[in-house]
Amino acid sequence: MTRRVNNFSTMPTAYRDIVIRNRLGLHARPAMQFVDLANQFRSTIRVDSFGPERGHADGKSVMQVIILAAVAGTKMRITADGDDAQEAVDQLANLMESGFGED
Amino acid sequence: MKFSEFIVKEAVQAELKSTDRDGVLAELVDALAQAGAIPKNTLEEVVAALVKREKNGSTGFGKGVAVPHVKHAKIKKMVGTLGRSIHGIDFAALDHQPVYTVVLLLSPENQPQLHLQAMNIIFTNLQKDTFRRFLRQSNTREAILDLLDESDQGR
């Protein structure tokens, strides 16, 4: 699923597409969990949302991630840029796909 | 989603009397009850749920704003209000700074989409430096409501 999308940059870019699984969507607590994890990486993190409210967010800003208002079923793309891009994308995508420990 | 769809005008507090987090939560929920937006007998339960939510993780997301919120079985219609503090409140905010603007949101348990849309409009505005600055300068309920109205009209 994970591919490099930019062969020209010296810093690796990685992305992964996921679907929001938990019933309540990407509300404040999951957004906080996501941002906490994102901030553990050196890479820049971008989240694109293809739900009812299309948009993108800096994955390290909790306000921006909440603004995405991603409901259950929303398709999202997590993109990381930096030397730990692959690891960042894998862990962040897994967190989202796990439903943040919710139903 | 517009502010006018969930902000209860009569419950907006231009000068919060409370100086601590739990006091502010109680004051704003009480204002909603006084305005008839939620049943009075739910007051204590709702405040307790909000306090519990804050203890699990502060909704003071930085920049002097907090957005305490909870989904509760006894709330049948999404309602919100806004309180302004002159002196600043310790909300255990992420950036450790005092909070001057509190937007409180109460949602039913079965409408996650409406809740997300309300959070969207709240944070879209609170992210703007000018909106936060104007809000801090609005020292009457009318001035705050005008500001929310201007945002709703896209001005």
For residue B49, pLDDT over 70 is answered with: yes
pLDDT at B73: 93
Which tokens hold the place of B38? 């939620």
The answer to whether the Cα torsion of B68, B73, B78, B81 is positive or negative is negative
For residue B52, pLDDT over 80 is answered with: yes
Shortest CA distance from B63: residue in chain A: A63
Q: Do A25 and B112 touch (CB under 8 A)?
A: yes
Integer-rounded Cα Rg, in Å, for chain B is 14
Q: Do B112 and A23 touch (CB under 8 A)?
A: yes
ipTM value of the model?
A: 0.86
pLDDT at B25: 98
- Determine whether B40 is exposed, middle or buried from the number of CB atoms within 10 Å of its CB (0-12, 13-18, 19+): exposed
Per-residue pLDDT tens over the stretch A51-91: 777 899 999 999 999 999 999 999 999 999 999 999 999 99
For residue A1, pLDDT over 60 is answered with: no
Which tokens hold the place of B141? 């309920």
The answer to whether the Cα torsion of B111, B114, B116, B119 is positive or negative is negative
Distance from CA of A52 to the nearest CA of B (A): 10
Per-residue pLDDT tens over the stretch A36-56: 999 999 999 999 999 777 899
More confident residue, B155 or B65: B65
The predicted model scores a pTM of: 0.91
Residues of chain B with Cβ-Cβ distance to A63 below 8 Å are 61-63, 123, 126-127
What's the rounded Cα separation, in Å, for the pair B1 and B22? 28
Active site residue B69: yes
pLDDT at A3: 56
- Determine whether B107 is exposed, middle or buried from the number of CB atoms within 10 Å of its CB (0-12, 13-18, 19+): buried
pLDDT at A76: 96
pLDDT at B88: 96
What's the rounded Cα separation, in Å, for the pair A12 and A3? 10
For residue A5, pLDDT over 70 is answered with: no
| For residues B111-121, average pLDDT | 94
Per-residue pLDDT tens over the stretch B76-109: 999 999 999 999 999 999 999 999 999 999 999 9
For residue A8, pLDDT over 60 is answered with: no
Chain A residues interacting with chain B (CB cutoff of 8 angstroms): 23-29, 32, 52-53, 62-64, 66-72
For residue A7, pLDDT over 70 is answered with: no
**pLDDT-based confidence at residue A9 (cuts at 50, 70, 90):** low
pLDDT at A51: 78
Q: Dihedrals φ, ψ of B103, to 5°?
A: -110, 115
Distance from CA of B12 to the nearest CA of A (A): 23
Tell whether B105 lies on the interface with A, counting CB pairs under 8 A.
Answer: no
